[in-house]
């Protein structure tokens, strides 16, 4: 810990109240960030031991400046050594290496080019009928009931089925992959008691070995799937990517490929279900669905924050940040900045101001076009198939605690089933 950090501890009102993984911030962080943007746009967080950047302008400045702000460890608040019992489980897996999201050039450049080629966006037109078939099949499974918990039955299942199909993993493994992804998130959020974290670590290690086996299988017998393209492309690099590098890459592809899109779909369904006029407008005119997707991305910010490390002393938002100190760039705060968005708390499908839900700079999300497609197809199927969609009364909404992703844990919806 730097000397400057010690002297700042307890000096910031916002810093003393910054607990993003606990209520009330976990439930709704917007009031806190509104106050921070007004009073302390860049503040030192006692709980995370780093700087928090809240204004749109400053978040953009950090995100696009790879020369002064490193993305190493960008998906976790800080590298805190795990307790010995937890470490003993984690070392049974593969080492955590920088990959797509948490790396700097040239590692980032090599990995991004590899995945961009394998997940070629020119294939988007081919993806749409596949996504629609998956969405329709999922809705077929619950449409007659008139009620569903949407997050697991649809919001996770749609992008989850698609990404495992795309990579060539067995569709029947999705539930296990989802459990393993939850294990991964829980281990690195570190919010559970040690015995539970140890169990999550065992799941995370099992996930790593599962992916390593899939990589070795594609090395021996390439197929017509994105995983084979990645493995074959990685072998042609100089130097080639090893198994550990590929495992870390696949962990990030799978997490980004469905966990964050699930957050988008669940949040968009919530907006439609709580606003009958918006639902009626979407059903009447599906051409507004892309605008609903964009405004949901801004409001919900499925990636609510990322992290950077200062590579030199910098001035930002009126404070001095020393070389080596960590920063959280709060995308959800930037996406509600009054200086950028008029009436930011209002859900307005007519907005045209670009948001930061997919990041900014060299780490802008590779899968943004796919996420937008998945969101649009999901909403098309829901509005077509579920008449008078509405929220089940008296449910308590809660969010999965994650250092980066923001997603409803459950969402109970009802509609008028066909007679």
Does a structural domain hold residue 419? Answer: no
Average pLDDT over residues 148-158: 96
Tokens of 53: 């950047």
24: domain CATH number is: 1.10.630.10
Convert the pLDDT of each residue in 22-55 to its tens digit: 999 999 999 999 999 999 999 999 999 999 999 9
Pairing of strands 69-70, 319-321: unpaired
Convert the pLDDT of each residue in 248-281 to its tens digit: 999 988 888 788 899 999 999 999 999 999 999 9
Please state, as a whole number, how many other Cβ atoms lie within 10 Å of the Cβ of residue 390. Answer: 16
| pLDDT higher than threshold 80 for residue 209 | yes
Average pLDDT over residues 402-415: 94
Does a structural domain hold residue 60? Answer: yes
Dist CA 398 CA 315 (whole Å): 37
Whole-number pLDDT of residue 189: 72
Q: How confident is the model at residue 2 (pLDDT cuts 50, 70, 90)?
A: very low
| Global confidence as pTM | 0.90
Pairing of strands 147-149, 306-310: unpaired
Does a structural domain hold residue 52? Answer: yes
Identify the helix (H) or strand (E) that includes residue 260: helix 260-274
Q: How confident is the model at residue 80 (pLDDT cuts 50, 70, 90)?
A: low
Q: How many domains does the chain have?
A: 1
Residues 6 or more apart in contact with residue 419 via CB below 8 angstroms: none
Residue 171's domain spans which residues? 3-414
Tokens of 127: 């993806």
Cβ proximity of 71 and 363 under 8 Å:
yes
How far from the centroid of its chain's Cα atoms is residue 237's Cα?
A: 28
Average pLDDT over residues 328-352: 97
Tokens of 381: 């199927």
Is the bond into 271 cis (omega within 30 degrees of 0)? no
Does a structural domain hold residue 210? Answer: yes
Whole-number pLDDT of residue 366: 87
Does a structural domain hold residue 292? Answer: yes
| pLDDT higher than threshold 50 for residue 244 | yes
| pLDDT higher than threshold 90 for residue 358 | yes
Residues 6 or more apart in contact with residue 45 via CB below 8 angstroms: 12, 14, 15, 18, 51, 52, 328
Does a structural domain hold residue 150? Answer: yes
């Amino acid at each position: 810990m730097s000397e400057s950090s010690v002297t700042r501890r307890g000096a910031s009102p916002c810093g003393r109240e910054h607990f993003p993984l606990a209520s009330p911030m976990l439930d709704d962080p917007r009031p806190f960030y509104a106050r921070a943007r007004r009073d302390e746009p860049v503040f030192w967080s006692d709980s995370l031991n780093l700087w928090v950047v809240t204004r749109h302008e400053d978040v953009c400045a950090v995100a696009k400046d790879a020369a002064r702000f490193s993305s190493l460890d960008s998906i976790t608040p800080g590298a805190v050594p795990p307790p010995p019992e937890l470490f003993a489980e984690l070392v049974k897996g593969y080492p955590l290496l920088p990959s797509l999201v948490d790396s700097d050039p040239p590692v980032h450049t090599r990995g991004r080019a590899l995945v961009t080629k394998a997940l070629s966006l020119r294939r988007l037109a081919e993806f749409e009928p596949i996504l629609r078939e998956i969405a329709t099949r999922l809705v077929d499974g619950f449409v007659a009931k008139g009620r569903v918990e949407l997050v697991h039955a649809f919001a996770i299942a749609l992008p989850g089925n698609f990404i495992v199909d795309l990579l060539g993993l067995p569709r029947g493994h999705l539930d296990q992959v989802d459990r393993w992804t939850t294990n991964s998130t829980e281990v690195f959020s570190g919010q559970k008691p040690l015995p539970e974290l140890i169990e999550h670590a065992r799941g995370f290690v099992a996930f790593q070995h599962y992916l390593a086996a899939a990589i070795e299988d594609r090395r021996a017998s390439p197929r017509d799937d994105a995983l084979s393209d990645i493995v074959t492309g990685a072998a042609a690099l100089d130097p080639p990517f090893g198994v550990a590098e590929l495992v870390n890459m696949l962990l990030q592809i799978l997490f980004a490929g469905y966990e964050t899109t699930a957050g988008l779909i669940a949040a968009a369904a919530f907006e439609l279900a709580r606003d009958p006029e918006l639902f009626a407008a979407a059903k009447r005119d599906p051409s507004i669905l892309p605008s609903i997707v964009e405004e949901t991305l801004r409001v919900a910010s499925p990636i609510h924050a990322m992290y950077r490390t200062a590579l030199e002393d910098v001035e930002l938002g009126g404070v001095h940040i020393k070389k080596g100190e960590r920063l959280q760039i709060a995308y959800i705060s930037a996406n509600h900045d009054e200086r950028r968005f008029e009436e930011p708390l209002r859900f307005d499908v007519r907005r045209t101001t670009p948001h930061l839900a997919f990041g900014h700079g060299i780490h802008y999300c590779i899968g943004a076009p796919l996420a937008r497609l998945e969101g649009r197809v999901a909403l098309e199927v829901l509005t077509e198939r579920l008449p008078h969609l509405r929220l089940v009364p008296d449910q308590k909404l809660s969010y999965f605690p994650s250092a980066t992703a923001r997603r409803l844990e459950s969402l109970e919806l009802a509609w008028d089933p066909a007679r």
